[in-house]
Copies of this chain bind each other. A is one copy, B any other.
Amino acid sequence: MRVLLVGAGGVGTAVTRIAARRSFLTHMVVADYDLARAEAAVAALGEQGTRFSARRLDASDQDAVRTALVDERCDVLLNATDPRFVMPLFEAALAAGTHYMDMAMSLSAPHATAPYEECGVKLGDEQFAQAAAWEASDRMALVGMGVEPGLSDVFARYAAEELFDEIEEIGVRDGANLTVEGYDFAPSFSIWTTIEECLNPPVVYEKDRGWFTTAPFSEPEVFEFPEGIGPVECVNVEHEEVLLIPRWVDARRVTFKYGLGDDFIAKLKTLHELGLDATAKVAVPGPDGPVQVSPRDVVAACLPDPATLGDRMTGKTCAGTWVKGTKDGSAREVYLYHVVDNEWSMREYGSQAVVWQTALNPVIALELMATGAWKGSGVLGPEALPPRPFLDLLGAYDSPWGLREER
C-alpha cells in the first residue's frame, strides 16, 4: 500500500512513527506546506524511515494534491491537517481515483435563525453529499477515523453487534487528567479544533426527533473515567460521532460529551465574549500597514504547540463509548474505552498521549484496508465496517482497549 500523508504536524508525525513499525506499508509520502516539517518527520524515523519520503504540498491546492497522488502512485490519501482542508483533500482523492481517510469531517455552519435548537449545515454534510460519486468510483472515503471520531465509532458498532440487543443511548465520553508543567493553560490538542468543537452549537441525536442542537456546554454531568483518571465534569460538544453513529447503528439517543473542566470552559467563554474565537479576518497594524489575520489563528500562535509539550506533560487520556440498553431481556450499561499514559507514549514513540492516540487509529485502519479486512465504497464512517478486526489490532499495537461493566 502506498499512502500520501498530508500534514506533518503532531498527529502526522506520530502517524509516521506508528506506521514505520508495521510491514503492511510499501511507501508513505509525508507532505506538508512546510517542507522542513515533512523532512524532519522522515529524518526522525532514522533507519526505520526507508519507506518514507518528504514532499512540499499545499493542502488547499486541490490540483496539486491530485497531481501528487498520481505522481506518487498512491492508493490512499490520509488527511492529518486541520478541518479547514477536508474538502480540497477529499475532492482531490476522488479526482485522482484513490481512497481517502480523515480524522475530522467537513465543517458545520450554524442554523441561521435558531442556532441552538436546529442544525444548519451538519459536520460531514458536504462529504456525504458526494457519496454517490464515491460509490460510482468504487473507492472508499473513510471519514472520522481518528480516536474520537474513529475508535469511539468502532466501539459503538461493536456494542451493537456483540453486547446489546437494543440500545437506548450511546454517549461518547472523553476525559483526561493531563497536566503540563510550567503552563497555566496549555491545551493538549489543537486549539483551533478545540474552539471549533466547543463553541459551535453541540449536536444531539434522538431517534424520534433526528439531529438537533443545544446551547454550548449543555447537560453537564460528572463521568467517572477508568485507570485512575477519576471523575471529570463533561458537557455536550459538537462532534462527528453524533452524526456518524445513527447512520449505521440503531440507538434511541446519541451524544458526545467532553471533559473540559470548569477552568477550560471559562477560558473558552471569555475567548468567545472577546470575539477572539472568530475565524473571519480582522485588520491589525503590521510592519508595512494593516494586515488581515484570523483572531483564532492568533490565539493558536500564542499558545505552545500541543505536540511539543509531551516532555512536560503528566497523566493519562481516555477516549471511550458509554452504552446503555438491554441484552437477553436485562438492562445493561458498559463503557468501552482506550487509555494512553503520556509517560508510555513519550517513552515508546516520542509523541504525547492525545496526539499519539489520535494517530494510532488511522494507521490501524490503513492496515485493515491493506489486508482487505476492511473494504467498501462510498463515504463511510468507522461504524460501517467490522469492529472485531480493528479491536484485535489495538492489542497487536501494544495499546489494548478495555470494557467496564457499569451495572
Contacts and interface: CB of A to CB of B under 8 A. Distances in A.
Nearest to A277: B302
Interface string A298-320: 11111100000000000000000
A52 to B, nearest CB: 26
A185 interface: yes
Contacts of A274: 185, 267, 271, 299, 302-303
Interface in A285-302: 285-287, 291-295, 297-302
A284 B297 contact: yes
Interface in A252-297: 266-267, 270-271, 273-276, 278, 282-287, 291-295, 297
A276 B292 CA distance: 17
Nearest to A273: B184
Contact of A298 (B270, B287, B293): B293
B293 A293 contact: yes
A280 to B, nearest CB: 10
Contacts of A291: 286, 291, 293
Interface range on chain A (Cβ under 8 Å from partner): 20 to 34
A284 B266 CA distance: 25
A136 to B, nearest CB: 36
A302 B275 contact: yes
B301 A284 contact: yes
Given A267-B270, A270-B270, A276 B302 contact: yes
B273 A185 contact: yes
A179 B292 CA distance: 30
A308 to B, nearest CB: 15
Contact of A286 (B267, B276, B293, B295): B293
Nearest to A289: B33
Interface centre among A185, A286, A299, A301 (most CB of B within 10 A): A301
Nearest to A286: B291
A320 B273 CA distance: 30
A143 B382 CA distance: 68
19 contacts: A185-B273, A267-B273, A270-B271, A271-B274, A275-B303, A276-B276, A276-B298, A276-B302, A282-B302, A283-B301, A284-B294, A284-B297, A284-B300, A285-B297, A286-B291, A286-B293, A293-B298, A295-B298, A295-B301
Interface of A: 184-185, 266-267, 270-271, 273-276, 278, 282-287, 291-295, 297-303
Closest A-B pairs by Cβ, 4 of them: A275-B302, A282-B301, A184-B273, A270-B270
